[in-house]
Amino acid sequence: MHDQSKFRLLVVRLGAMGDILHALPAVTALRRAHPCWVIDWLVEPRWRALLATDGSTGRGVTRCDMPANPAQPVIDNLLFAATKKWRKAPFSSNTIHEVKELHRSLRAGSYDVTIDLQGAIRSAFLGCLAGSRRSIGEDAPRERAARFFFTDRIITHGAHVIEQDIELVASIAGDDLHPVQPLLPIDPAAESWADGILPSGSPAAVLLNPGAGWGAKRWPIERYSEIARALADRGYRILVNAGPGEEPLSRFICDAIGSAAIPLNCPLAQLIAITRRLAMVIAGDTGPLHLACALGRPVVGIYGPTDPSRNGPYGTRFRVLRSPESRRDHTRRSDPEAGLLTIQPEAVLKAAFDLLSSESEK
């Protein structure tokens, strides 16, 4: 490989929240192994806060022998692909203009390698626009047709997607890499906001995230309310996170247990800041659960149709509850999966209290 200080890499992982967080341990390990590389990332605009604060650009940063930039600790530059918006009006003048501008920016990056950590046709196609000499992706990507955009097709062996991403990034330069705790940006304004919600000396806080990407992954809201009430009775502060469109779920729990619960409907930068202060997160297979893992916070995962051996908690202390009846199925069904419904609040509470008691003994 040529002069390391001039090597330029483009990472393509457009979304979603949990998937970006799964990619970050591998890219963080790569950054540590090659501090002088230029590492840029192509992402959906809505996930910017996972990689950089609003005020950071990273342009002109020389990373050799310098500490990580807390506003943008892993990557040098962000590029944005608003594919969700583009799909709504693919032939509009605005979409065409934005795609052309992205194409120009990608070409201007003069990347030596593009690596696709998403494995979708759209991510592979956008990565191809960079015109890199090498384009790396999995031999068996999530969407099989994506492999035809790759010059290097890597056979991965890891069970968990984080392990698979490590194998992919290790193939760039033949490194012996291992997953590390990912580095997330520090936003001073968001940190100040979180201090106001959970000031120093306040009771230990547990965050519940009752929503999920689709109904089959969503444990019944009434059971989350039982969990919230039992934790509040033990003196824990309860935060209930609501993603876009999930506000009724948050209100249900807060109405059920009153002032002991605080609803959260906050920007991603604030969610990152508040998660740093939590004693625990209890959720299904959702972004906030994986955010807690990325920040080293204990988690209880309530799993149904998704496989925790591939998409479960990683890199932190955790308990996973999943019925033997559950089978891997990513069909976007609206009703909770049958195996998920066999998990009772008592089992979740036992897992939570076991983790909380061991955490307090540390």
Tell me the per-residue pLDDT of 107-116, one tens digit each, with 9 for 90 and over.
999 999 999 9
Residue 182 Cα distances to 155, 179, 296, 327, 357, angstroms: 24, 8, 9, 30, 26
Q: What HEC string does 10-26 produce? A: EEECCCCHHHHHHHHHH
Residues 168 and 197 in one domain: no
CA–CA dist 281, 239 (Å, integer) = 9
User: 60 pLDDT exceeds 70?
Assistant: no
Can you name the residues that pair with 138 across neighbouring β-strands? 154
* Other beta carbons less than 10 A from residue 130's beta carbon: 24
Backbone torsions φ then ψ of 118, nearest 5 degrees: -110, -40
95 in any annotated domain: yes
| 167 shares its domain with 204 | no
Mean pLDDT on 132-149: 97
On average, the pLDDT of the chain sits at 93
Q: Are residues 159 and 258 in the same domain?
A: no
**Cα 219 to Cα 9, 205, 209, 337, distances in angstroms:** 40, 21, 10, 9
Q: Are 326 and 221 contained in the same domain?
A: yes
- Counting residues of the chain whose pLDDT is more than 70, the rounded percentage is 94
Could you give phi then psi for residue 200, rounded to 5 degrees? -55, 135
Q: Please determine, for residue 362, whether its predicted confidence score (pLDDT) is greater than 80.
A: no
- Residue 178 inside a domain? The answer is no
To which H or E segment does residue 356 belong?
helix 345-360
Q: At CA 254, angle to CA 250 and CA 260, rounded to 5?
A: 135
Residue 181 inside a domain? The answer is no
Same domain as 211, residue 289: yes
The residue from 115, 139, 173 where one domain ends is 173
Confidence grade of residue 358 (pLDDT, cut at 50, 70, 90): confident
The CATH number assigned to the domain holding 23 equals 3.40.50.2000
H helix or E strand, kind and range, residue 163: helix 161-173
Residue 115 inside a domain? The answer is yes
Same-domain pairing of 193 and 135: no
The verdict on residue 179 lying in a domain is no
345 within a domain of the structure (yes/no): yes
Q: What is the pLDDT of residue 81?
A: 97
CB-based contacts of 81: which residues, under 8 Å, 6+ apart?
14, 42, 43, 44, 102, 126
The answer to whether residue 62 scores a pLDDT higher than 50 is no
- 248 and 169 inside one domain: no
C-beta contacts of 243-246 below 8 A and 24+ residues apart: 243/209, 243/211, 243/286, 243/287, 243/288, 245/211, 246/210, 246/211
User: Do 203 and 292 belong to one domain?
Assistant: yes
Does residue 183 lie in a domain region? no
In a domain, 182, yes or no: no
Is pLDDT at 65 greater than 60 in this prediction?
Answer: no
320, 200: one domain: yes
Instruction: Give me the residues paired with residue 205 across strands.
Output: 237
Classify each residue of 259-288 as buried b or exposed e, where b means 16 or more C-beta atoms within 10 Å of its C-beta.
Answer: ebbbbbebebbbbbbbbbbbbbbbbbbbbb
Domain match, 219 and 282 both: yes
> φ, ψ for residue 9 (rounded to 5)?
-125, 135
Residue with structure tokens 């033949």?
Answer: 174
Domain boundary among 173, 197, 223: 173
Q: What is the dihedral of CA 187, 31, 313, 203, to 10 degrees?
A: -30
Q: Which DSSP helix (H) or strand (E) runs through 240?
A: strand 237-241
Least confident of 54-68, 143-157, 174-188, 261-275: 54-68
pLDDT reported for residue 16: 93
- Domain boundary (140, 173, 206) is at 173
Domain of 36 in residue numbering reads as 4-173
How far is the CA of 318 from the CAs of 13, 203, 290, 348, in angstroms? 26, 21, 11, 12
The reply to whether 164 and 222 lie within a common domain is no
Q: What is the mean pLDDT of residues 288-304?
A: 98
Q: Output the pLDDT for position 273.
A: 98
Of 114, 48, 16, residue with least CA distance to 311: 16
| d(C-alpha 281, C-alpha 272), whole Å | 12
Omega before residue 146 within 30° of 0, cis: no
pLDDT at 361: 63
Domain count, the chain: 2
Whether residue 156 is found in the same domain as residue 238: no
